[in-house]
Amino acid sequence: MNIPSSIATFWDGFCAEAGEDRSDRFFEAFHFDDNERDANALADLVFGGAKRATASLVWTFEQAGGSLPRPGALSVVTYWNGRPACVIETLAIEILPFEQVSAEFAAIEGEGDGSLEYWRRVHWSYFGRECARVGREPSKAMPIACERFSVIYRAKA
């Protein structure tokens, strides 16, 4: 996949530090969430190491005609404005119905108080907006891609 020009300099720095071109493992550059405040807060949680997982609505990937990341995939997490924060490596992906996402997963996602109750509340709201955008109805059985990742490179201050 081609590296977007908006992150090319950052990606080149990452590859130089890694000692090899890893562009064959590039998956995407993205920001979290659908609003600036939350996107920036979540990027900071990843950058700082508190957020080590993310949940995505599978229907969003299907509607876009794309695939889910696979273990070993490399993605650039950005802030809302496109400024790169870090490179993450996908460690594992598990597809689960919304209602089966575990408290352990909610905790490593690192948001709010880390509880499953908090996770369900904020993700139900977010996935509801995503469902509306892709023409689906939210349900407790909607498929969620639960991705675990590690930060392997951080932007320099």
User: What's the pTM value of the predicted model, to 2 decimals?
Assistant: 0.95
Is residue 111 within 8 A of residue 41, CB to CB? The reply is no
| C-alpha count within 13 angstroms, C-beta hemisphere, residue 134 | 18
Predicted confidence (pLDDT) per residue in 107-131, tens digit? 999 999 999 999 999 999 999 999 9
User: Which ranges of the chain have pLDDT less than 50?
Assistant: none
């700082």: which residue's tokens? 48
- Give the DSSP letter string of 34-59: SSHHHHHHHHHHHHHTS--EEEEEHH
Question: Three-state SS for 102?
Answer: coil
Is residue 61 within 8 A of residue 133, CB to CB? The reply is no
Element (H or E) spanning 14, and its range? helix 8-18
């891609």: which residue's tokens? 145
Q: For position 66, what pLDDT does the model report?
A: 87
Is residue 52 within 8 A of residue 110, CB to CB? The reply is yes
Q: For position 156, what pLDDT does the model report?
A: 87
